[in-house]
Chains A and B, each alone.
Chain A
Amino acid sequence: MAWKRFAGHKAALVCCAILGFLVLAVVLSPLTTRYGVNESVKAPPNSYLPPSKFAWLGTDDIGRDLYSRLIYGTRVSLLIGLFSAFISVFVGCVVGAVAGFRGGRFDDVIMRITDLFLAFPFLVALLVVRNMFGSIGWLTLIVGEASSLRFIIFLLSFFGWMGVARIVRGQVLALKEREFIEAARASGASRSYIIKRHLIPNSIGPIMVALTFSVVGAISGEATLSFFGYGPQPGAGATSLGLLVGQAKGAVQTGFWWIALFPCLVLVVISLCINFIGDALRDATDPRLDAGK
C-alpha cells in the first residue's frame, strides 16, 4: 500500500533514479573518474581550463580535473550524510521514545534543551561547539581531531538527533494511549519491550522521513562548515562537496563560471532529490493524507 503510493509519486521516482545513478558513479569511483582527487590534468597549460575534452567540467587553479573531484566529493559528502543521519536517528529514537513514554521531569528537561538548540542559530552553535569539542583531549582521542571526517560526523550527529527526538516523542505520545499498547502493558510487557516492539515499528514512517531529511541536513551542515574553512582537512580522503563549493566562492569574482556552477549544481541536485524522496515517503506512510489532498 505504502509502496504503491510511493511509486505513484513520479518526481520521487525520477529522484531515486538520479540518486541511484550518482551512488553508482560514486561506488565505482576509480572506474568512473578520470583523474585522482589531487592529480593534475595532462594537458600543457592545465590551470583554469574551461570544459573541454581534456577535462569535461574544466579544471581548477592548479589544474585538477573538476569532474573527478566532484565524484570524490560526492562520495565524501554522502558518507558524512549517511553516517551522521543514522547516528542522529538512532539517538533521536531512543531519547524521543523514552521521553515520550516516561514523561515527567526527564521529558521536560530533554524537550527544553531541544527547543533551545533548535532555536539557536545553527552555524554559530556548530562553530562554537566544534572548537570546544576539538579542545577536549579525551574526546579527540575517541572521535578524532577537529579536522577529521570522524569528528565532523560526530559533531553533526550531536546536533542532528534533536529534531528526530521531537518527532518520535510526538509519535509516542500519540500512540501510547492506544489500546494495543495498553494490552501489551496489561500482559506484562516491559517498557523497553514496548518501545522496541510496538512504539518504534509503529512510527517507522515518520522515522524514515526524518532519516531522509537528516541526510540532507548533515550534507548541507558539512558543506556550510567546509565553506567557511572549518570542515574536514582538505586532504585526499576529505575533499567534500562543501570544500568544492567553498572554492567556488573565490572563483566567482574572476569569472571562472565552471568552478562555481558545477559543485553548486551537484549539491543542489543531491539535496533536492533526497528532499523529494522524503516528501514522497511522508505522503506514502502518513495514513491521514489521502490522495486528493
Chain B
Amino acid sequence: MIRFALRRSAWAIPTLLLVTFLVYIALRMGTDPLASYMRSNPRATRSKIAQYKELNGLGSNYVTGYFGWLRNFITFNWPNSIKGSREVWPELKDAIANSARLGIAATTVGVAIGLTIGIFAALRPGGKRDVAVNTAAFVGISIPPYISAILLQLLFAVYWSKWFGNTLFPTSGVYPPGQDGFNLVLMIKHMALPTFVVAIQIIAVYSRYMRSSLLDVLNSDYMRTARSKGLSEFRILMKHGVRNALIPVITIAALDIGAIVGGLIITENIFDYPGTGKYFLSAFGNGDFPLLMPLMVIIVASVLLFNLLADISYAILDPRIRLE
C-alpha cells in the first residue's frame, strides 16, 4: 500500500512540471505578458523591462524561459504584479484563504445534504420521495451557478429590503465596508448566499451519485446475508449499505475539485467575494502574468493532489482492488 502511494506520488511531480509548462506556454501566447506590461507601465525604463523579462522567464525560447521562471518561482523570487507593482504572495494568500473557506463550507453543506437525500431516495426506489428527489436534482443540475446567483441577488439585494425593510443576507464581499477584524456573525451572513449557490450543484450531483451507488449495494448478496443474520435494519443500512456505497462516491468527490473551483470562480465574481476566482478573472483580464502563474500552479497542484487522494483512498477503501 505504502509503495503504491509512493509510486503514485512520484508520478505527480513530472506531471506537475509538464502541466505547468503547458500553462506557461498557453499564458505566454494568450495574454502576451510583455505587451500587457508595457500597456500598464508605458514609461518603464529599459532596465525595468529587462528585469521584468528576466524575473518572469520571458526569453525568446519557451523551454529556457520556463526553467528561468521555475528557478525564480522555487527560490521564492517572485516578480511583482504589473499593475501597481504589488507583491503577489500576500494577496494570493488571502484570496486562497477566502476561497478555501467558501469552498469548504459549500462542500460540507452540499455533501452532507446531498448524501442524506440520496440515501432517503434509494430506500424506496420509484416511490414518491425518490421521484421528488430525482426531479429536484435535475432542476439543480440544470441551473448554472451564475443564474441561481443572479436570481438570489435580485431577491435579496432588491426585494427583501423593499418588502421587509432590512438586509438579511448581504450580496457582496465578506464584510460590510469599513469593518475591521474578525466578526463571525457578519461573515456567516455574507457567506450564506455564495455558499448556497455553490452547494446547490453539489447537492444535486451527490444525491444522484449516492442514490445509484446505494441502490447497487442494496441489491448485492452480502446485504441479504446481513439481513439473514438478523441484524437490525438500521445497522444493515449504515454499516453494510452506506459504508460500501460511499466508496465510489468518495472517489468521485476527490475528482470533483475542478468543478468546485469552477463554481467558485463564477460565484465569487457575482457576489464580489475576494477569493481566487475574482483574483483569477481580474488578473486574466489585465494579462497579469506574475499574478496568474502562481495561481495556476496552485490550481494544477491541487487538482493533481486530489486525483492522487482519489486513487489512494479508492485503494484503501476497496480491498478488492489489486495494486499490481
Contact = CB atoms under 8 A, between A and B. Distances in A.
B146 interface: yes
Contacts, number: 124
B299 interface: yes
B262 A245 contact: no
A131 B33 CA distance: 12
Interface residues of B, number: 49
Contacts of A292: 125-126
A260 B258 contact: no
Interface stretch (B19-27, B71-79, B80-88, B222-230): B19-27
A249 B19 contact: no
B258 A272 contact: no
A233 B31 CA distance: 19
Interface stretch (B150-158, B183-191, B240-248): B150-158
A216 B138 CA distance: 13
B209 interface: no
Interface residues of A, number: 45
Contacts of A248: 150
Interface string B252-270: 0001011101100110011
Given A271-B142, A279-B138, A136 B259 contact: no
A255 B157 CA distance: 9
B262 A249 contact: no
A56 interface: no
Contacts of A220: 144
Interface of B: 15, 19, 23, 25-27, 29-32, 125-126, 135, 138-139, 141-144, 146-147, 150-151, 153-154, 157-159, 162, 215, 255, 257-259, 261-262, 265-266, 269-270, 280-281, 284, 296, 299-300, 303, 306-307
Given A128-B23, A129-B26, 15 more contacts: A116-B19, A119-B255, A120-B258, A122-B262, A127-B284, A129-B30, A223-B146, A228-B269, A249-B150, A252-B150, A261-B154, A268-B143, A279-B138, A292-B125, A293-B215
> Which 10 interchain pairs have the tightest Cβ spacing?
A131-B30, A272-B142, A132-B30, A121-B261, A255-B158, A121-B262, A132-B26, A264-B147, A271-B142, A132-B29
16 contacts: A116-B303, A119-B258, A120-B303, A121-B258, A122-B262, A124-B296, A128-B296, A132-B25, A216-B142, A254-B158, A255-B154, A260-B150, A261-B151, A271-B144, A275-B142, A292-B125
